[in-house]
Amino acid sequence: MLVKPKFYRERKEKLYEREIAIILHKTLSQKNNLPLFSLTYCNLDVRGKSLKIFVNIFQKRKKDELVKSINKEYSPILKKELAKSKNFAYIPNISFLIDINQETNEILEKIIREKDNKI
């Protein structure tokens, strides 16, 4: 089976990321009751069948529940808006995930600040 080169997938990821950021900005500005979150990056699988969207949620508690509600509310909206944009021939399955790298960076920064204050 032929696999498309890595740069092709990376280019598609950036295109999805840009388009999804625009769509999320429009929908978040219209709905005030949803939690604030930001798009960190997108990860498209090798075959292009699923797109994982990593987000940073600005609430400290109940992040798992928030991700479930974001998946439930935003995935259908995103698929519909991506189809309307006509920039993509195939719309993959979309799932939101928490960006763990952001959390670990915050924890490391906190530890470094505490050590600097002790010195």
Considering the chain, what percentage of its residues have pLDDT values greater than 70?
Answer: 85
Going by pLDDT thresholds of 50, 70 and 90, the confidence category of residue 74 is confident
- Report if residue 1 sits inside a domain: no
Mean pLDDT of 76-101: 84
Can you give the residue range of the structural domain that contains 47? 6-118
Q: Distance between CA atoms of 104 and 6, rounded to whole angstroms?
A: 27
Listing DSSP states for the chain in one string gives: -----HHHHHHHHHHHHHHHHHHHHHHHHH-SSSPPEEEEEEEE-TTSSEEEEEEEES-SS-HHHHHHHHHHHHHHHHHHHHHHHT--SSPPEEEEEE-HHHHHHHHHHHHHHHHHHH-
Question: Is 114 domain-assigned?
Answer: yes
Residue 3 has pLDDT above 70, yes or no: no
Highest mean pLDDT (candidates 36-40, 61-65, 68-72): 68-72
- The residue type of 100 is I
Query: In this structure, what CATH number is given to the domain that contains residue 72?
Result: 3.30.300.20
Check if the beta carbon of residue 35 is closer than 8 Å to that of residue 66: yes
- The residue among 63, 83, 86 whose CA lies nearest residue 75 is 83
Number of domains in the chain: 1
| pLDDT of 56 strictly over 60 | yes
Output phi, psi for 106, to 5 deg: -65, -40
* CA distances for 60 relative to 23, 44, 57, 94, angstroms: 25, 27, 8, 24
| pLDDT of the residue at 35 | 65
Lowest mean pLDDT among 1-5, 50-54, 69-73, 78-82: 1-5
The reply to whether 112 falls in a domain is yes
| Six token digits for residue 116 | 């600097």
User: Is 23 contained in some domain?
Assistant: yes
At residue 6, does pLDDT exceed 70?
Answer: yes
**55 in a domain, yes or no?**
yes
Does pTM surpass 0.75?
A: no
User: Is 12 among the domain residues?
Assistant: yes
